[in-house]
Structure 1
Amino acid sequence: MYGIDELKNAPVAVLGGGAVGKTVAADCKLGGNKVHLYDMEPFAKKTLAGLEKTGITLAGNPKNKYGFKRLGTAHFDLITTNLEE
């Protein structure tokens, strides 16, 4: 069983590159995690196009229960259509 400190530093795999998946992946990356983003063909041609160059930018005035702000551009460690990766 993992302790909370080990989980804080664990890599994150986001399965699905739609609007919500990319937002969650960007939030995790800006939070300091190693992030792998996957989407399946044929959707990936549209959802993952250009992400290697542009990343995902989170901007605005975030409001959340804990008062933290994760703003900036997230560049992922891996963007793939190969689930095994």
Structure 2
Amino acid sequence: MVDLKKVQEDYLLLLQLVQSEMAMNTSVESLFNYLKSKEGHFTHFDQNFNSKDLLEFIRSVNRYADEFLFSDQNNTQIRKLMNSLYENLG
């Protein structure tokens, strides 16, 4: 069973960390915008909730994130959050 509260918390923290990266690396803005495009799906769950759709989105985010170099202070946590989301939705 998907822990929706954990998914929401991890997603919002991931969004926050990627946003903080933009102050150091403006190229990360495209990743932030991509993540933000599905915010409603990660924060407002309804009867149409589909974990497989969100899982596919996180897969694509993970692949897209490989194109960026994150700061040492955020890299590990960003990767852990993506993995946590993947595991919780899988």
TM, length-normalised to structure 2: 0.28
Determine which structure has more spread, i.e. the larger CA radius of gyration. 1
Instruction: Specify which structure has the bigger relative contact order, considering alpha-carbon pairs within 8 angstroms and separated by 6 or more residues.
Output: 2
Return the structure number with greater strand share. 1
Return the structure number with greater helix share. 2
TM, length-normalised to structure 1: 0.29
